[in-house]
């Protein structure tokens, strides 16, 4: 008679805890899931707008050969009334742009703006470059060449006519434009305005004196 074979029921092996799904959900490293992480801190808005006008490669001859570097021309402005231009060199493009931006921020100037344009026409000659800036009616826009447009666009001026004469060197044109903006005189400082103000004050004083004399005569009567 064959012997009966006893079989024991299989016992399920203990399962390891699921580390990939901790209490409340999360990633395999035990941290919070992507949708549960804190939102990134809000980025601070830049106070000044930076525009790279040109980047040139320059070479310097040394004993071992040529040494190549990069020269950057950068304009900085807040689109309200401040603007600055900087030029710097660096071993690579990023270094040159960073240094030029720092130079521009150190030499900011305040531009007088009247009704979205400049207070008066002006022409400036600097080295070989000559720049002419003229007032424009509202809605005209900035009618200018590449370098002058890049400089004026970050000042907050929206209506302007200009002409670049003489040199085509971008650095000279940029500095000539900055010099033209620096020489602008606010409307309240014009000589004609001062004369009108003095004349108006004299007229007011004279009318007050005449009124006082008339009042005295009437009281005597």
Which residues touch 28 (CB under 8 Å, ≥6 apart)? Answer: 19, 20
Listed residue (176, 156, 154) closest to 165, CA to CA: 176
Helix (H) or strand (E) holding 67: strand 65-77
Which pLDDT tens digit goes with each residue over 21-64? Answer: 555 555 556 555 655 555 554 555 678 889 999 999 999 898 88
Q: What is the pTM of this model?
A: 0.65
Instruction: Tell me the average pLDDT across 106-132.
Output: 90
CATH class held by domain 49-187: alpha beta
DSSP state of 190: -
Which residues touch 160 (CB under 8 Å, ≥6 apart)? Answer: 117, 118, 133, 134, 135, 136, 140, 142, 143, 144, 152
Q: Quickly list H helices, the chain.
A: 93-106, 146-153, 170-182, 191-220
Give the residue extent of every domain in the chain.
49-187
């Amino acid at each position: 008679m064959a012997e009966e074979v006893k079989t024991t029921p299989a016992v399920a092996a203990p399962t390891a805890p699921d580390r990939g799904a901790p209490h409340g959900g999360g990633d395999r490293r035990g941290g919070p899931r992507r949708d549960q992480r804190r939102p990134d801190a809000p980025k601070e808005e830049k106070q000044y707008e930076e525009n790279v006008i040109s980047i040139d490669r320059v070479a310097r001859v040394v004993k071992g050969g040529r040494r190549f570097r990069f020269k950057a021309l950068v304009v900085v402005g807040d689109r309200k009334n401040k603007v600055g231009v900087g030029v710097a060199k660096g071993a690579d493009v990023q270094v040159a742009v960073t240094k030029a931006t720092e130079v521009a921020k150190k030499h900011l100037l305040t531009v007088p703006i009247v009704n979205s344009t400049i207070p008066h026409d002006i022409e400036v000659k600097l080295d070989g470059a000559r720049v002419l800036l003229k007032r424009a009616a509202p809605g005209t826009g900035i009618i200018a060449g590449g370098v002058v447009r890049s400089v004026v666009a970050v000042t907050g001026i929206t209506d302007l006519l200009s002409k670049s004469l003489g040199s085509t060197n971008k650095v000279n044109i940029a500095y000539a434009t900055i010099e033209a903006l620096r020489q602008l005189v606010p409307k309240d400082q014009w000589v004609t305005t001062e004369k009108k103000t003095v004349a108006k004050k004299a007229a007011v004083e004279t009318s007050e004196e005449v009124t006082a004399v008339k009042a005295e005569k009437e009281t005597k009567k």
